[in-house]
Amino acid sequence: MEKANLARYNFLLKGSKKAVLLIHGITGTPSEMRYFGKSLNKAGYTVFCNALPRHCGSLTELKKVTWNEIADACIEDFKRLKEENSQVFVAGLSMGALMGIHLASLFPSEVSGIVALAPTLFYDGWALHKGKVLMNLVWHIPVLRDAINIREGWPYGLKDEDSRESIERFYKNAKASEFSKKSLLFGSPFFPLSCLYQHTLFVKVVKKELPAIRTPILILHAKEDDMTSIRNARYIYDHIGSADKTLVPLEDSYHMITIDKQKDKVAEEAVKFLGRL
């Protein structure tokens, strides 16, 4: 999809000279960060969220993305914000949370703080089909990796039933061979195995970086996360080198905590954390 058409989905909300770079999840869209971003902007922060490379378009294009390509785009966005603002924080959802940690590793003196939202190192949530572990046996084979698309399943990362109903109608009827503009709002109805493979490669990089990171970090994760258990958050908390670190378990949400039942609490915790840095 052309950048001009994506402009309405990317967003830059002007505030003070303290800025937050928001990074959405792999296969997701900036829309999943918009409510969170508006809340930060209301608190005075400049907020920017860009669509990740090859996202918000066809499934064929999404399959081509690499973690290095995503990292390069996030680095460019971070540098742009840093040029125009006195302080820059990073906040990401799922894989986006790991990308925020990665940026702190690359720019240790320039990232002022990390907000890790449902950070995802491994997919071990209660709603995932146990047979998906067999994917590890085939994703090293390019032909199979490019051919397999995992359809997103109930409860779609949402505990809030009203929000879930809207996304469920689209996801259930979506076809891998067709592009729908609703993907710009809800994200891809399919998780390509090739993306899962790239995510796994990236996780290995981030795990090695964790001990050396000293940047203050706030981690928020749902106790009932359907996609990635809270063990992910605890792993990061236990292994990151930061002395200033906080883990906030959420009692009434699933994976998509920026748009789920406790989205206001998520924003409030982030504003409180950023405000003291």
Give the CATH number of the domain where residue 101 resides: 3.40.50.1820
Question: Residue 7's Cα: distance from chain center in Å?
Answer: 19
Give me the chain's average pLDDT, please. Answer: 90
pLDDT in tens, 99-148: 999 999 999 999 999 999 999 999 899 887 655 555 666 667 777 777 78
Q: Between the ranges 38-47, 51-60, 124-133, where is the mean pLDDT highest? A: 38-47
Q: Beta strands of the chain (E only): which ranges?
A: 11-13, 18-23, 46-49, 87-93, 111-117, 149-151, 190-192, 217-222, 245-250
- 80 lies in which domain range? 3-275
Give the chain's domain count: 1
- State the virtual CA torsion across 227, 155, 20, 8 in degrees, nearest 10: 130
Residue 235's pLDDT is what? 98
Question: Residue 273's Cα: distance from chain center in Å?
Answer: 19
